[in-house]
C-alpha cells in the first residue's frame, strides 16, 4: 500500500524533498536543539549537564536581561510607528508625481535600502563623528552643543532608530505606494464631487481603504525590529554596549563572548516566544481594529 502511494505521488515528493531536507536541517533541527540546549549548562561548543529550568529561573534575576528587553522595546517604539508614518507621508507625496520623475524620486528614497548595513554604519558613523562629522556642523549651525551620539546612552537609541527609519523607509514606501495605487481614481473624483476637503478625503476615504496595507506595514516592521541586531551592534562598538544592548545582541554576548551556550539558549527561547506571542496578539488587535490584512 505504501509503495502504491509512493508510485502515484513520487513526482510531488521529488519536488518538495529539496526544500524539506534543507529546512529540516537548518530550521526544525536547530529549533529543537535550541529548546534542548536551554535546559543544560553547556558552553557554546561542547556538552553540558541537564539543569532543568534553572537557566530560566536565572533570567528572572538577570538585570541585563531587563536592560535588553527595555532597549528592544524602546527601539521598537521609536522606529515602528514613526517609520510607518514617515513612509506614508512620503508615499502620499510621491504618488502625486508621475512618469520618469516619480520613478527617479522613488529610486532616491529606495536607494538606502539597497545598501548593506555595514555601509550604513560606516557612513553614519562618519557623519556623526564627534570631531569632524558633517552632522556636528549642522548642530553647530543650529546652536546645539555637540554630542558624541553613539557613546551616550540618551542619544544612542534615538539616533539608531532615526538611522534605521532612513535606511528601511524604502520598503514600507513601496508597499504603501502599491496600496495607494490600488484605490481607484474614480473614488477620489466622486469625493471631489461630494465637496470633500483634502483632509476629509484622507481621513474618511484614503485612510480606511489603506488600512489593510498600513496594518501590514506595521506588522512587518514590528516583527523585524524586535529581532534587531546589526546596526545596534555596529554602532555600539566603542560605546556603551552593555547599556544599549538589545535582545539578539544579548544572546550573542552570552553565547559567543561569555561562552554560556545553555543560558544563551534560554534567552533565545524567551525571545522566540515573545516574538510569536507579540505577533499573534498584534495580528488579532489589528484585525479587531478594523480589517485584517489579506491572507
Partner 1 sequence: MKGSRFHISRVGAWLITSLTVLIALAWVFPLCWGVISSLKPEDEVVRPYIELWPQTLTFDHYYTALTNSLIGLWYINSLVTAVGVTSITIFSSMLCGYAISQLNFPGRRYLYMLILACFMVPTQTLIINHFILMANMHLLNTWLGMILPQLVYYPVVIIVYKQFFDGVPKEFREAALMDNASEWRIFYRVYMPMNWGITTALAIVVFIWTWNNFLWPFLAATQNETMTVPVGITQVYNAFGVYIARRLAAAVLAALPVVLLYLFFQRQVTQAITLSAGIKG
- Binding residues for partner 1 restricted to 233-262, rule: CB under 8 A: 234, 248, 251-252, 255-256, 261
Q: Quick check: 147 binds partner 1 (CB under 8 A)?
A: no
- In the set 1, 15, 142, 288, which binds partner 1 (CB under 8 A)? 15
Q: CA quadruple 286, 206, 198, 222: dihedral positive or negative? A: positive
Which residues, other chains included, contact 132 with Cβ-Cβ below 8 Å and sequence gap of 6+?
none
Q: Is 103 in the site for partner 1 (CB under 8 A)?
A: yes
- We find the least distance from the C-beta atom of residue 135 to partner 1, in angstroms, to be 9
Give how far Cα 193 sits from Cα of 185, 186, 203, 208, 267, Å: 13, 10, 17, 19, 58
DSSP state of 258: S
Q: Which of 105, 147, 180, 183 binds partner 1 (CB under 8 A)?
A: 105
Binding mask 214-233 for partner 1 (x = CB under 8 A): -xx--xx--x--xx-xx---
Assess 281 for contact with partner 1 (CB under 8 A): no
Choose which of 9, 70, 130, 207 interacts with partner 1 (CB under 8 A): 9
Cβ proximity to partner 1: between 244 and 270 the closer is: 270
What nine digits make up the cell of 255? 553565547
Q: Is 209 in the site for partner 1 (CB under 8 A)?
A: no
SS3 272: helix
Closest contact distance (angstroms) between CB of 92 and partner 1 is 10
Instruction: Name every residue whose Cβ is closer than 8 Å to that of residue 97 and which is 6 or more positions away in sequence.
Output: 105
In contact, 242 and 257? CB cutoff 8 Å: no
Does position 11 interact with partner 1 (CB under 8 A)? The reply is yes
The span from the CA of 16 to the CA of 210, in Å, is: 36
Q: What angle do CA 63, 65, 71 make, to 5 degrees?
A: 105
List the one residue from 1, 7, 12, 60 that touches partner 1 (CB under 8 A).
12
Name residues contacting partner 1, limited to 37-96 (CB under 8 A).
37, 44-45, 90, 93-94, 96
For residue 107, state whether it binds partner 1 (rule: CB under 8 A). Answer: yes
- Sequence length of the chain is 295
Amino acid at each position: 500500500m505504501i509503495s502504491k502511494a509512493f508510485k502515484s505521488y513520487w513526482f510531488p515528493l521529488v519536488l518538495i524533498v529539496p526544500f524539506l531536507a534543507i529546512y529540516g536541517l537548518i530550521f526544525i533541527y536547530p529549533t529543537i536543539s535550541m529548546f534542548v540546549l536551554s535546559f543544560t549548562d553547556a558552553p557554546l561548543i561542547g556538552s553540558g549537564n541537564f539543569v532543568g529550568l534553572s537557566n530560566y529561573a536565572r533570567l528572572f534575576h538577570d538585570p541585563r536581561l531587563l536592560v535588553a528587553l527595555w532597549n528592544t522595546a524602546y527601539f521598537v517604539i521609536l522606529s515602528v510607528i514613526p517609520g510607518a508614518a514617515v513612509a506614508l507621508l512620503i508615499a502620499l507625496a510621491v504618488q502625486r508625481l508621475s512618469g520618469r520623475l516619480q520613478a527617479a524620486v522613488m529610486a532616491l528614497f529606495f536607494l538606502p535600502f539597497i545598501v548593506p548595513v555595514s555601509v550604513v554604519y560606516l557612513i553614519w558613523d562618519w557623519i556623526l563623528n564627534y570631531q569632524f562629522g558633517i552632522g556636528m556642523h549642522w548642530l553647530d549651525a543650529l546652536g546645539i552643543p555637540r554630542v558624541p551620539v553613539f557613546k551616550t546612552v540618551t542619544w544612542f537609541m534615538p539616533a539608531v532608530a532615526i538611522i534605521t527609519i532612513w535606511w528601511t523607509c524604502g520598503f514600507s514606501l513601496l508597499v504603501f505606494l502599491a496600496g495607494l495605487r490600488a484605490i481607484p481614481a474614480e473614488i477620489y473624483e466622486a469625493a471631489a464631487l461630494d465637496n470633500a476637503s483634502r483632509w476629509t478625503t484622507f481621513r474618511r476615504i484614503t485612510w480606511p481603504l489603506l488600512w489593510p496595507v498600513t496594518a501590514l506595514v506595521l506588522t512587518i516592521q514590528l516583527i523585524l525590529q524586535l529581532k534587531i541586531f546589526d546596526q545596534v551592534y555596529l554602532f555600539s562598538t566603542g560605546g556603551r554596549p552593555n547599556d544599549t544592548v538589545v535582545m539578539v545582541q544579548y544572546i550573542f554576548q552570552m553565547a559567543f563572548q561569555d561562552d554560556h551556550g545553555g543560558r544563551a539558549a534560554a534567552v533565545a527561547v524567551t525571545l522566540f516566544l515573545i516574538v510569536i506571542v507579540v505577533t499573534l496578539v498584534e495580528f488579532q488587535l489589528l484585525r479587531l481594529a478594523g480589517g485584517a490584512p489579506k491572507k
